[in-house]
Amino acid sequence: MIVDERQRDIGNFHVGRLLPFRRKRSVGPFIFIDHMGPIQIKKGDYYDVDQHPHIGLSTLTYLFEGQAEHKDSIGSHQIIMPGDVAFMSSGSGITHTERTPESLRQEDNFMMHGYQIWVALPKELEEMEPTFEYIPASKIESWSEGNFKLKLVAGEAFGKKAMLKGYSPLFMVDVKAMGDDNLNLTNHLKGEVAIVVVSGEIEEENEIISSGQMMISKSDEVCSIRVKKGTQLLIFGGETLPEKRYLLWNFASTSKERLQKAKLDWQNKNFPKILNDNTYIPFP
């Protein structure tokens, strides 16, 4: 199954939405993925997302270029750099902001490129206490196999375990091809598999899948893919969660009633707040 990015607006940004879509609402525990950029940010047109809420999911931020400043209602404050991983688990409820750091606001322009991803929490952890995990690029396991350089961003894959485990059985791998080659995935990944072409192209069944597209396996047994030199991929997925997930704006839950409660709580301003931040994105 091949999926094309669909354009969406978030503030000053056009993003390419890959998941969910009509024929496929999730891949393993992954329920949402937006591709930000690559885009040149000019002075005054910054990446600024005001205070907004989440429940029932974890957000995973992974950048290739640019920076993002994260603040949340449990007191976390972190500048996310290229190659870093930020993983915020909302549980029973959290608010956060994402902004261009002050240091980049001094630049005339800079590039912004990365992915914003949501991972559903297991049903028994949907109401957990919110948490925030940050792993710098220097601590992400990297290795080479043939013509490929790989980074294990999260979970378990290729017989390795990432520092970021997550709360659901999952994997996310960043792959760069240094030459034309077949990438063997047999017995290296467990569960559903999606392959996002960040740049370059891959070939499958005599069809070219290129930058801005995602390929989703129809079974858990993916063998190998033909990858062109210079291509970068994000491979993610994992075991399917047993219960259906419902989405309402920034909320995820196994219960539609819980989504409505979160909506009313946000409208009535009953969510926790970020210290010294009075911004508020209304429920659409």
Q: Encode pLDDT of 125-134 as tens digits.
A: 999 999 999 9
> Taking a C-beta distance cutoff of 8 angstroms, is the pair 112, 36 a contact?
yes
Residue 14: pLDDT band (50, 70, 90) is: very low
Q: Residue 221 carries which side chain, given as an amino acid letter?
A: E
Give residue-wise pLDDT tens across range 148-159.
999 999 999 999
pLDDT in tens, 41-85: 888 888 899 999 999 999 999 999 999 999 999 999 999 999 999
Q: What percent of the chain has pLDDT over 70?
A: 92
Query: Quick check: is 246 in a domain?
Result: no
Mean pLDDT of 168-185: 95
Please give the model's pTM, rounded to 2 decimal places.
0.92
- Of 259, 188, 256, which is closest to residue 225 (Cα–Cα)? 188
Which domain covers residue 153, as residue numbers? 2-238
DSSP state for residue 55 in the 8-state scheme: B
pLDDT confidence band for 6 (50 / 70 / 90): low
Q: For residue 27, tell me if it sits in a domain.
A: yes
CA contacts within 13 A on the Cβ side of 273? 11
> Above 50 in pLDDT, residue 181?
yes
Q: What is the CATH number of the domain that holds 180?
A: 2.60.120.10
Q: What is the mean pLDDT of residues 13-22?
A: 62
Backbone φ, ψ for residue 152 (5° rounding) = -90, 100
- The verdict on residue 158 lying in a domain is yes
185-197 pLDDT per residue, tens: 988 999 999 999 9
Q: Tell me the average pLDDT across 22-27.
A: 82
DSSP 127-170: TPPPEEEEE-GGGS-EEEETTEEEEEEEEEETTEE-S---SSSE
Q: In this structure, what are the phi and psi dihedrals at residue 47, rounded to the nearest 5 degrees?
A: -85, 95
The identity of residue 260, as a single letter, is Q
- Token output for 256: 């539609």
Contacts of 262 (CB under 8 A, 6+ apart): 53, 55, 93, 248, 251, 253
Identify the residue whose tokens are 């760069």.
176
Per-residue model confidence (pLDDT) at position 209: 86
Give the pLDDT of residue 18. 72
Count each helix (H run) and each strand (E run) in the chain, helices first: 1, 25
Q: Which residue has the tokens 């940050």?
A: 134
Asked if 238 and 170 touch (Cβ cutoff 8 Å), the reply is yes
Instruction: Determine, yes or no, domain membership for 207.
Output: yes
Residue 59 inside a domain? The answer is: yes
In a domain, 174, yes or no: yes
Specify the number of domains making up the chain.
1
For residues 210-236, give the mean pLDDT: 85
pLDDT of residue 7: 52
pLDDT value, residue 17? 65
Asked if residue 182 is part of any domain, the answer here is yes
Rounded mean pLDDT of the chain?
91
**How would you classify the pairing of strands 68-72 and 85-89?**
unpaired
Lowest-confidence segment of 37-46, 105-114, 251-260 by average pLDDT: 37-46
Q: Looking up tokens 């995973």, which residue turns up?
A: 60
Note the pLDDT of residue 43: 87
Is residue 262 in a domain? no
